[in-house]
Every structure is written in C-alpha cells, then in structure tokens.
Structure 1
Amino acid sequence: MNRSHTRLQLSRPAFTAACAVMVVGMAAGPAAAHAEVTASDPRALAENVTLSFTSEAESDTAGIAELRVVLPKGIAPDAVTLKDAPKEWKLAATPDGYAIGGPALATGTDAQYSITVRQLPDEKTLAFKTLETYSDGKISRWIEVPTDGEKVDNPAPVLELKAAAPGAKLVAPSPSPSGTPSSAPSPEQSAAPSAPVASASAQATSAEETGSSTGATVGVVAAALLLVAAGTFWWVRRSRSRA
C-alpha cells in the first residue's frame, strides 16, 4: 500500500511537468508561424534574381487572401515582376512595394509565391516587411527587423546577401515619366488584388499611433475616476464631521 502511494506521489510531479510542457507547446504554436524569403542568387548587385516567399498560415478559421510587402531601399516597385503565385493571384505595385493576392487560400495553407527582381542592391541584408490579410479581415504584421542578434515577436523576412561578384556594377534604373515609382500595375500584373488601402508601412505606423492614443485615453479616464473618488470621499467625510 505504501509503495503504491509513494509511486503516486512520484508520478504527480512528472505528470504536472508533462502537462506544463504540453501547455507551453500549444501556446507557442501560433507564434511559430513566420514569413521567409530565399533567393536564386543571393549576391549584392546580382541581376534578374528570383525571390521566393513563404508566409505560413496561422489562422484556424480563415485563409490568406492578400500579402502587402514593403520593398527594401534599392529595389523600386517597377523593378519587380511576378513569376509564380497561387491560382488567380495577381501582383500590383504600391508606392512603397507591392501587393499580391486573389481568392483566399484554403484554411491552413501557406502562401507561396516568387517574383523576379531586376537587380539586388549593394547591401548586406534586405528586409521585406510583410502584412498578411486573411479572408476574415485579420491582419498579421511581420514587420520587425531584428538588430544585434536580438529576437523579435514578428520578424520581417530577411535575406542575407553575399559580396558582389567581381566586376558587378549597378544597372541604371529604367526611366519613369513621373520620377517616382508608379502605383499602377503593369499589363502582365493585371488588376490589383483588392481595393486600394494604406501601404504596409503606413498601416504599421498607424497601429503604433493607435496603441499610443489608446494608452493616453485610458490614462485620462483613470485620472478622472480617481479625482471623482477623492471628491466623493472628502464630501462624505465632511458631512459626517458636521453631523
């Protein structure tokens, strides 16, 4: 009897630890999703490079319908063309990058597509900040760029570049009538995947400003409530003292 009791006592900590591991694993599940990028020729100044992107699905109820990407410095929106994408998905240039989307993918299906870039810039790393929009309107923001090896919650796809090949030179950009990247899609890109909305960088900034505004509003309300409570306490105490 004592041996059985002892075994039960010894097994409880192990059972508790196992449950804790399962809970942690389940909680970490959604956070494990991410967006990534690879290149056919990951070298600075490389020309006609294919960039392949994968955005992992993290919703259990909706599919990915659109991706909006902010291009890094040195890659203009008109220097990008669509190479491969899910069926019926189209690519359209935006002021700071491009949007690609179409019919929502099946729930749990990763969004995979590839583009061709005229030439990569002379940099060591390239970050492609990405906004994922699901069919239910939910937006996942993969826009954080880690520095000094730090870990971030929502890292943007980052491409590491090797040194440029000997003799490689920067190709002059194609002339643009307006002098700025056009937001209209090229003929092969067809129509935009969805109605025009704010760019990815603008949405990211808006989210930060919204959070700051909400925090300020909460602070004002809390202060007002404290003042009302203090006034009420003083009035009650004064009334009692008079009585």
Structure 2
Amino acid sequence: MSRIALPRAARRLTIVAAVSATAVLLTAVPAAAHVEVESEKAKALAENVTISFEAESESDSAGITELKVVLPEGIKPADVTYDKGPEGWKFAAEDNGYTVRGPALKAGENAEYSITVRQLPDAKELAFKTLQTYSDKRTDRWIELDDQGESPAPVLKLEAAASDAKPADPSPSETASPTPTADDTAQPSSDKETAEEEKSDDDGLSAGAWIGIGVAAVIVVAAAFFVMRRRGGARS
C-alpha cells in the first residue's frame, strides 16, 4: 500500500515545489517604477505640442535631481522649449536632447515637468530615453525600447497626421552646433553611449532574479530529499 501511495505523494510534492518556485521567481523582483509621457495633441506633424512627463521615484532615502533625455529621431534640441517643472529646476539643451535638473526633490517624490515641441515628426510613436539621477548619485536608465523590459523608455503613441498637415520649415537655429557643456563628459550624451549602457544593463539578471532562482533551487532540493527519505522508510 505504501509503495502505491509513495509515487502519488512524490508527484504532489514535486508539483507543490514547482508552484512555490514559480511564485518565488515572480515575486523576487519588485515592480519597477518608470517614466510616463502623455500629450493631448499626440498626432503626427502636429505643431506646438506640449508633452508632459512624470518620472516615478524608486528611492525612500534619496530625491531625484536630474532627468537627462535623448530626443527621438525627427525632433531636434532646437525644436524644444521648457514649459514647467519642479521649483528651482533648469532646462539645458544637449547635443542630442536636453537635461532638466535642480535641487533634490523629497525622497519618494515623483518628478513632473513638461516641454513644448515645435512640430512632431511623421511617426507612429516616439521614444524618449531617460536617465534619472538621484541625490545619492544613483541613476535609473529608462532606455529599453521593449515595453516588456525591466527599464522601458517612455513612449508616446501618435495618431495619424491630419490630411492637410505638412512638415514645417526648419528653425533657423537648427543648423547651429550646440556649445558643448562640462556635463557632456560626465553623463552619456549620444545614442551610441546610451546603447552601450542598455547592452550592459541587459547582460545579466537582476539581483532579485538571482535570489529567486536560489530560493527555488533550495525548494527543489528539499523536495527531492523528502521523497528519498520517505522511500527509504517505506523499504525498511
């Protein structure tokens, strides 16, 4: 009787162990924050469009001090003007985007700001890769173009252009070369550098995932030990 019941018990224990391991893996990595983007005039070739951003805070001990954005193809730094943001924060154009920075916000407080774009490009969506820096020098890189990734870039979906819409004339300052700033050497300022950071972030699993895998392995080993012990007891 015990020989018949043992395989059933082993199967049940294996199923329980598998379910527990899956639950651990799903809960080991906390839900990541992200940067949200929205606009009421999100339409291709729309002009003078205000775009709002909200960078969610992931820290309970440090405040957000800077948001560095790489503009999507079709939008030049000269096409962007600063609308509003946290008190005391300043806007600065970069070679391929812009930076908004200022006094550290309170720990846990989200950073909200908005910009106005002279004209949106003729596209279906726009990705605004963002580097989010805290007062403790920690930087979150919201640069992944896969929205299922751990650090997705904020993406603005665009409606189709109006039938009478057409590209506006280039701005006079668009051909001018921006003056390099000291910060260009301190933070990534090109798509190539950002891509390298994205690659390095994707090279390995997060610490939470490794913890989950370790716990799952312990559960499986314990299940196997229990089965072997029961089997030895039945034989005796």
Report if TM-score (shorter chain) is over 0.5.
yes
Aligned-residue offset at 1:201: 3.3
CA gap 1:200/1:165 in 2 versus in 1, 3 angstroms? same
Match of 1:204 in 2: 194
Correspondence for 2:161:
164
Match of 1:174 in 2: 171
Q: CA deviation at 1:154?
A: 0.7
Q: CA deviation at 1:199?
A: 1.3
* Equivalence for 1:12: none
Structure 2, unmatched stretches of 5+, are: 1-18, 204-236
Q: How many residues align?
A: 183
Q: Secondary structure at the match of 1:204?
A: helix
**CA deviation after TM superposition for structure 1 residue 166, in Å:** 1.9
Aligned position for 1:68: 68
Query: Is contact 1:128–1:158 with CA below 8 Å preserved after alignment?
Result: yes
Q: How high is the TM-score relative to the length of structure 2?
A: 0.68
Partner deviation per Cα, 1:136-173 (whole Å, 9 max, x = no partner): 11110000002xxx621110000110011120110011
Aligned equivalents of 1:200, 1:65: Cα separation in 2: 21
What is the CA–CA distance in structure 1 between the aligned matches of 2:201 and 2:173, rounded to whole Å?
Answer: 38
Tell me which residue corresponds to 1:9.
none
CA contact (8 A) 2:125 2:158 kept: yes
The 1:212–1:86 alpha-carbon spacing in structure 2 relative to 1, beyond 3 Å, is closer
Where do residues 1-243 of structure 1 align in structure 2 (5 Å cutoff)? 27-29=28-30, 31-146=31-146, 151-176=148-173, 179-183=175-179, 195-196=183-184, 197=186, 198-199=188-189, 201-207=191-197
Alpha-carbon distance in structure 1 between the residues aligned to 2:137 and 2:192: 17
State percent identity of aligned pairs. Answer: 49
TM-score normalized by structure 1?
0.66
Report the Cα distance in structure 2 between the residues aligned to 1:210 and 1:151, rounded to whole angstroms.
17
Aligned CA distance change for structure 1 residues 75 and 181 (closer, same or farther; 3 Å):
farther
Gaps of 5+ in 1: 1-16, 185-191, 214-243
Highest relative contact order (Cα 8 Å, sep 6+), 1 or 2?
A: 2
